[in-house]
Amino acid sequence: MAWTRHGHQIPGTNLDPAQPRVARCGGPSLCKECWADVQAWGVFNPKDKESEEKSPSFEEELRALINKHSLENMSGTPDFILAGFLQNVLTDWNHATRARDRWKGN
C-alpha cells in the first residue's frame, strides 16, 4: 500500500493498520500535494495503476453513489468534496478508536 505525504491512502492500494498520521488537508481530491503523490505513485507503479483502473477506489464509488442519489444537492457541495469528507470521517474514526484502545491498554 501507499500513502501520500499527508498520510492519505492512495486509491487502489489496501488499507493497513499501520496507516500514518493523516493531515486535515482533504486528501488527494482537495490537496495539490496529495494529488501529486497519487500521480507520482501511479508513474512509478504502473502495474498497480492498471488494477486501480479496473476497480474504483472506495472514494470513487462513494462519489458515484452520492451522485446517483443527488445527495450533493442538499448542501450544494460537489460529490468529490462530500466523498473526500466522508472518507476522512472514516479515517478519523479509525484513528480515534485506535487511540481509545491504546488508552484502554488493548
Report whether 57 contacts 42 (CB < 8 A): no
Question: Pick from 103, 84, 80, 60: which is nearest to 6 by CA?
Answer: 84
CA–CA dist 101, 49 (Å, integer): 35
Residue that has been written with the C-alpha cell 488527494 in this structure: 28
Please state, as a whole number, how many other Cβ atoms lie within 10 Å of the Cβ of residue 105: 5
Answer for which of 2, 10, 25, 38 binds Zn ion (CB under 5 A) is 25
Asked if residue 7 lies in contact with residue 22, where contact means CB atoms within 8 angstroms, the answer is yes
Nearer to Zn ion (CB atom), residue 35 or residue 67: 35
The residue range among 17-25, 46-54, 57-65, 80-88 that interacts with Zn ion, by the rule CB under 5 A, is 17-25
For Zn ion (CB under 5 A), the number of binding residues is 5
CB of 40 to Zn ion, least distance (A): 13
Which residue in the set 2, 3, 6, 57 belongs to the binding site for Zn ion (CB under 5 A)? 6
The minimum distance between CB 28 and Zn ion, in angstroms, equals 7
Q: Which of residues 61-100 bind Zn ion (CB under 5 A)?
A: none
- Binding footprint of Zn ion on the chain (CB under 5 A): 6, 25, 31, 33-34
